[in-house]
Chains A and B, each alone.
Chain A
Amino acid sequence: MEKFFAFVLKEFRQISRDRRSVAILFILPVLLLLLFGFAITNEIRESKFAVLDCDKSALSSAIAARIDASEYFSLCKSVQTKAEMEELLARGTVKTVVVFEADFEKKAACGESPQINIVLDAVDPNEAKNIYNYASAIASAEFAERFGRSAPFHGIDIRANMLFNPQLKSAYDFVPGVMGLILFLICTLMTSVGIVREKEMGNMEILLVSPMRPVYIIIAKVIPYFALSVLIVSGCLIIATAVFGIAIRGSVALIFGLSMLYTLLALTIGITVSTFVNTQQTAMFIATSVFMLPTVLLSGMIFPIENMPRLLQYVSEIVPAKWYISALRAVMIKGCGIALVAKNIAVMSAMILFFALLSLAKFKTRLE
C-alpha cells in the first residue's frame, strides 16, 4: 500500500508543478458555468428593433413604446420607408421591424381588426419565432388594456413576415456558422502545427541556412492549406444547396472572396501562434482552446450575439469568425452586395495586417 501511496503522491506533485494544467482545470469549469449561466443564452434580451409607423397615431406610438419598455426589446430606430427597413434587416442592425398600417388607430376605433406586421430576420428561425411570440404578446396586451374586454372589436391582427428564410430551415443559420468554424480551425491548427513541427524536428534551422528566404518558407508552407480551403468552401456550398436546399442569394464570387480573405486571416493567426510556441502540443492546445471556444461561443455561430451582456458583445468584436459568419450570412442568405459587408472586409483586412506584423516582428527577434 505504501508503494501505491508513493505513486499517488508523485502524481499529485507532478500535476501541481504543471501550473498551466492546474489553471485550466480550475478556470475552465468556472468560466464555462458563468458563460452559459449568464451570458450565452437563446433567451431574447434587449433585442434591437425598428418601427415603420405608417399611422403615426397615439395608439401605434403607445404600442411601440410598450415593446421598447419591455426587457426583451430596445428600440433602435424609426424608419420611414420600406427600403430603409430592408437595409436595416439585411445589414443585421436589427432583427425585427414592427410595421403599423396606415389607418391603424382609425380601424381600431371602428371596431375593425387593425394590422401589425412583424418583419423578422429569420436566418436563425428559432430566434425569429421567439421574437415574434414576445412582440405579439406585448402588442396584444397593450391593445387589450386600452380597449378593455368590452371593446367592440375582433382583436388585433398580428402577422409575421419571416424574411430571408420563409420555410424556417435551420440550415440557413448553421451553414455559414459551420463554414466559419471549420475554415478557422483547419487553417490555424494545421499551419501552426505544421510550422512548429519543422522547428521541433530541427528542420527549421536547416531551412533557414538554405538560400530560401524565411518569408518564402512560410508562404510555401501555407499554400496547400489555402488550396484546401478553396475545396472546403466549394464542398460546403455544394452540400448547402444540394442537400439542404439553401438558395444562395448573393454573388458566389463574393462568397469565395470573403472566404479567401477569412482563410488568409486564419493562416496568419496560425503563423503567429507558431512563432510563439515551440512544441506541436502547445500549438495544438492554443489553436483548440484559445481559439476554438470563443469561435464557437462568441462568434454568433450558435448563440445570437445581441442577446449577450454588453461586455461579451465587445469581446465578440475581436473574434475573427464573427466578422466572417455575419458577412457570409448577409451575402449568402440575404443576398447583400459588397457595400453592405464592406465593414466586415475592412475589419478582417485590419486583423490580417495586425497578425502579419506581429508574427514578422516576433520572427525577426527569434532569429537574433
Chain B
Amino acid sequence: MNAIEVKGITKKFGDFVAVDSISFEVGTGEIFGFLGANGAGKSTAMRMLCGLLEPTSGEAKVAGFDIYKQREQIKKSIGYMSQKFSLYGDLTVAENIKFWGGLYGLTKAEIRAKEEEIVEKLEMRGWENSFVASLPMGWKQKLAFSISIMHSPKIVFLDEPTGGVDPIVRRKFWEEIYDASLRSITVFVTTHYMDEAEYCDRASIMVDGQIRALGTPAELKKKFGRADMDGVFKDLARGAQRKDA
C-alpha cells in the first residue's frame, strides 16, 4: 500500500489557483522530496495532506485515510516538523519530550522510554534539563525531528526542516532521516536546498502550482541532461510565471 496517494487535488483561494490538480504517489518507507520555489504551492499542498486545509477538488489518501472525511485519523498517523518552529525554547529538553509525547497520547511509561532513547541516540546525556533555547541549532533540529516521530507515525512531514544551517549539519540531519526511513517511516520533505534533493529516493518539482517533473534524482538529471539537481531545478523554475512571494 502507498503511504500517500494524491489524484488531481486543487486548491483555489478566490480566483488564485494555489495548487493546480497535482497527482502523485509516495510508497511506504520512501523519502519523497517535494521541491519548488517560494510561492509555487508547496506548503499549500502539504497543509492539505496534513488536514489543515480542505482541497477545493480532487482526491487524496494519507496513510490510507481520506483527507476529507478522516482528518482525525490522519492526524494520529502523521508527524510534522518545520524549520520555522523547533520546540518550546523556554521548556527543557525533557519537558518538551513530555509535552509532545502527551499531546500524541503516549503513556507515561512510553514517554519515559522514548526520552531515554532520544537522549541516548542524540548523545544528549546531561542536557535533559537544559532549556531548548540554549542548544545549538543542529541539535535543536535533530531533537525536533526525533520528537516529531516519537509516536511512531506512518508518515512524517518535514517542512523545510534544515533552513538556515550549513551543509555539514544538514548532512548529519539527513542521517536521522535515513534512519527513520529504515524503520519504514515514510518521509515527505520540502526543501529548497538542491543538495538535499539528491538524497531523496524520488523528488517532484512544483512550478506555478503544478508538478512539472517527478522521478528519482538520476532519472530527472538524465531527462533534463543536467549534472545535478540544481541544474534541473533552474531549467524548470526559469519558466515560472509567479514570482517569489
Contacts and interface: CB of A to CB of B under 8 A. Distances in A.
Contacts of A30: none
B85 A205 contact: yes
A210 B75 contact: yes
A211 B82 contact: no
B19 to A, nearest CB: 15
Interface residues of A, number: 13
B222 interface: no
A18 interface: no
A203 to B, nearest CB: 5
B85 A203 contact: yes
Interface string A203-215: 1011111111000
A201 B52 CA distance: 17
Interface string A351-368: 000000000000000011
Interface residues of B, number: 19
A99 B82 CA distance: 74
Nearest to A207: B103
Contacts, number: 40
Interface in B69-91: 72, 75-76, 78, 80-82, 84-85, 88
Contacts of B88: 203
A209 B85 contact: no
B54 A368 contact: yes
A211 B105 CA distance: 8
Interface in A207-251: 207-212
B52 A212 contact: no
A212 B54 CA distance: 18
A201 B51 CA distance: 20
Contacts of B81: 206
A209 B80 contact: yes
B53 A209 contact: no
Given A209-B80, A211-B105, A368-B53, A201 B85 contact: yes
B52 A367 contact: yes
B104 interface: yes
A230 B103 CA distance: 27
User: What 7 pairs across the A-B complex have the smallest Cβ distances?
Assistant: A202-B84, A202-B85, A209-B80, A211-B75, A211-B76, A210-B103, A209-B50
Interface of B: 50-54, 72, 75-76, 78, 80-82, 84-85, 88, 103-105, 157
Interface of A: 201-203, 205-212, 367-368
24 contacts: A201-B84, A201-B85, A202-B82, A203-B88, A205-B52, A205-B80, A205-B84, A205-B85, A206-B80, A208-B52, A209-B50, A209-B51, A209-B75, A209-B157, A210-B75, A210-B80, A210-B103, A210-B104, A211-B72, A211-B76, A211-B103, A211-B105, A367-B52, A368-B54
Given A202-B84, A205-B85, A211-B72, 16 more contacts: A201-B85, A202-B82, A202-B85, A203-B85, A205-B80, A205-B82, A205-B84, A206-B80, A206-B82, A208-B52, A209-B80, A210-B75, A210-B80, A211-B104, A368-B53, A368-B54
